[in-house]
Amino acid sequence: MVRRGLIVSKEKARERSKEKERDELRADVSLTEEDWLDLLKKTREHAESLAESDETAVLVMPITEEEEKKLEELARKAVEKLSRRFVWIAKRGRYGFMFVIPTSEEEKDQWGAEWAGFTIDWCREMLMHIVSTRTLVMFDPFNEIRPDRHQAVKIILGVLVKEELGRWVDEAEGIIRITWKTDDEWADEIRRWALKTGRTTFTLFKLQEYRKDLATLPKSELRYILQHLVEKKQAKWLDSEREVVEIQV
C-alpha cells in the first residue's frame, strides 16, 4: 500500500515509472539507515534537476506503508532526543499554544523562531539537506500544527531563510536547502577528515559514500563547498568536470 512519498523531479519520476525500477524499489521494505539515506538521496535530485531543466514541478515518489512506518520510527527517535532540549515538544499538553499558528505578527515571529530552531536540529538528526513542506508535514510533530500545517511549515522554512540557515530551492513549492553547517564549516571538516583518514583523493560520489552526513547533499552544493578549498589552495580539481578532487597536504 502506497500512502506517502518524498519529492523528486518530473524527469526522475518518469524514470522510476519503468517496471524494473519500480519492482526494485518495492522489493525490500525493511528500511535500514542506509535505505533511509537512499530515499533521501532521491530528494536531492530534485534540487539538481532545477538547475538543469525547466521542469520545476514537484512530483512525489511513492513509499510503501512499511517504509513509512520505518521512517516514522527514525523520526520518533529524533524527536525523543530533541525533546530534552525543546521542552514544549515533550509537554505538548502544557505548551499547546506552540501547535497553533499565532494570529499576531509579533507572536508569529517568536513562534516561528522557536520552531525554526527545532527544525534545523531535527534535519541534522535526520541527515536532511533538502526539505519541503510536503516532506515535513509527514512527520510528528509538524503534523500536529493547526489550523493549517502546510502554512505553518512554510512560515518556519521562511524563518530559516531569513536567518540565513537555509535558502529557497523552489519557494512556490516550499522546498529549501537547509544549512545546519555553513559551507566554510563543511569545507574545513571535509579537509580535516581527508587528512585524518588519508583519503585525500576522491570523487564526489565516493565522498558521499564515505560520509553519511553528506550523502543527501545535492552534488552541485557539494561541488560549491569543495570549491572553497580550491580557492584557498587547499585542494585542486583533477578533472574538467569537477568530479574528482585532491586535498592538498
C-alpha cell of 237?
580539481
Q: Hey, which residues does 245 pair with through a beta bridge? A: 202, 237
pLDDT greater at residue 202 or residue 64: 202
The cell for 177 is: 536547502
C-alpha 67/C-alpha 163 separation (Å) is 33
Confidence at 22, pLDDT banded by 50, 70, 90: very low
Question: Are 216 and 40 in contact, with CB atoms under 8 Å apart?
Answer: yes
Q: Name 182's Cβ contacts closer than 8 Å, sequence gap at least 6.
A: none
Could you tell me the pLDDT band of residue 39, with boundaries at 50, 70 and 90? Answer: low
2-178 matches 183-247 in fold: yes
Q: What is the pLDDT of residues 124-172, one digit of tens each?
A: 999 889 999 988 998 999 999 999 999 999 999 999 999 999 999 989 8
pTM above 0.85, yes or no: no
CATH number of this structure's domain 2-178, picked from the four choices 3.40.225.10, 3.30.1540.20, 3.30.420.40, 1.10.10.570? 1.10.10.570
Question: Where along the chain do its domains lie?
Answer: 2-178, 183-247
Q: Tens of pLDDT along 54-89?
A: 333 333 445 577 777 777 888 999 999 999 999 999
CATH topology classification for 183-247: Arc Repressor Mutant, subunit A (1.10.10)
